[in-house]
Amino acid sequence: MQEHEHALTGGNATQGVVRVGATVRKPWTPATAGVLEFMGAVRSAGVDVPEPLGQDELGRQVTEFVPGRLALELPSLSPADLARVGQIVRAIHDASEGFVPRAFAAWDTLIPAPDDELVCHNDLAPWNLIVGDRWVFIDWDGAGPSTRLWDLAYAAQAFTLSDASEDPKVAAERLKAFVDGYGATTELRSELPSTMARRAEAMYDLLHASHRSGREPWGSMYVNGHGAHWRVAADYVQRSQSTWLEALTARVP
Ligand SMILES: Nc1ncnc2c1ncn2[C@@H]1O[C@H](COP(=O)(O)OP(=O)(O)OP(=O)(O)O)[C@@H](O)[C@H]1O
Ligand SMILES: [Mg+2]
């Protein structure tokens, strides 16, 4: 019997994401073989990620459907929840260490990374975290070489600093919970605030440049609110850096 297909509309970037029973189907791209291999490697190292299930009869990629809600749709996460997410980000990074895809993989990364320390997810954000009985990051298609710092900067900003109207001292408590959960070294902590500012600016630049060049879907996202969101977010991170540097590097008496 042909199983029914339900469109999954939570994302922006990919057309044709559907659920079929306990699986998700997305278009197969030149990056997909490497992405599924990477997901498998992270999973084998003990991190809960959707099981990669290969290719279907229509040539689409198949991964496990994970039940739950997107973190983005939930009331804001508590500091303890944020520490848990930070811990998951750390586990993904540790699991990626030393991963080299068997076949050459044409990674489909959106924003140039400062270095290629390890393969990262590159979009660890509330719009890609399923919260349910399991807490699982989905949407691994943009994975590719990056650095712990660059990937953590994006995740920390997206999970804890996306409300630019908030007093940065208050936001600092959530940021610290996340970074403590990650177990960041002193060096990472001291570089994080300025890197978050650069990372948020890079996101804005991508949307703005896409708007000018007509590159979709980012060009349309720029005018549909994402451009304004990232402009405000990048300015907030830029001007609050010193508050967060102090909070992250303060010595515990
Ligand atoms: N493995 C999964 N388990 C459960 N739900 C999923 C899974 N994969 C995707 N979804 C649902 O489908 C939506 C779109 O999927 P996905 O995030 O992969 O698409 P996208 O368009 O590439 O997203 P983005 O805009 O974040 O790049 C998600 O927001 C989520 O609601
Ligand atoms: Mg997504």
Give the residue whose CA is nearest to atom 26 of ligand 1: 11
* Cβ(207)–Cβ(233) below 8 Å: no
Looking at residue 126, what is its pLDDT? 97
Task: Classify 161 as helix, strand or coil.
Answer: coil
Looking at residue 2, what is its pLDDT? 61
Q: pTM score, two decimals?
A: 0.96
Q: Specify the DSSP class assigned to residue 132.
A: S
Q: Specify the DSSP class assigned to residue 251.
A: P
Looking at residue 231, what is its pLDDT? 97
Looking at residue 252, what is its pLDDT? 65
Kindly report the backbone phi and psi dihedral angles of residue 147, in degrees, each rounded to the nearest multiple of 5, phi listed first.
-130, 155
* Superfamily per CATH, domain 69-249: Aminoglycoside phosphotransferase (APH), C-terminal lobe (3.90.1200.10)
Looking at residue 253, what is its pLDDT? 56
The residue ranges of every structural domain in the chain are 5-64, 69-249
Residue 138 CB–ligand 1 contact under 6 Å: yes
Kindly report the backbone phi and psi dihedral angles of residue 215, in degrees, each rounded to the nearest multiple of 5, phi listed first.
-85, 120
Q: Both tokens of residue 5?
A: 């297909």
Calculate how far, in angstroms, residue 164's C-alpha sits from the geometric centre of ligand 2: 22
* Cβ(99)–Cβ(118) below 8 Å: yes
- Provide the residue type at 5 as one letter: E
Kindly report the backbone phi and psi dihedral angles of residue 131, in degrees, each rounded to the nearest multiple of 5, phi listed first.
-115, 120
Residue 66 CB–ligand 1 contact under 6 Å: yes
H-assigned helices in 116-226: 148-160, 168-182, 186-213, 218-221
Give the residue whose CA is nearest to atom 12 of ligand 1: 8
Looking at residue 54, what is its pLDDT? 97
**Mean pLDDT per 10-residue run, the chain (253 residues)?**
81 88 96 96 98 97 98 95 98 96 84 95 98 98 97 98 96 98 98 98 97 95 96 98 97 66
Calculate how far, in angstroms, residue 249's C-alpha sits from the geometric centre of ligand 1: 35
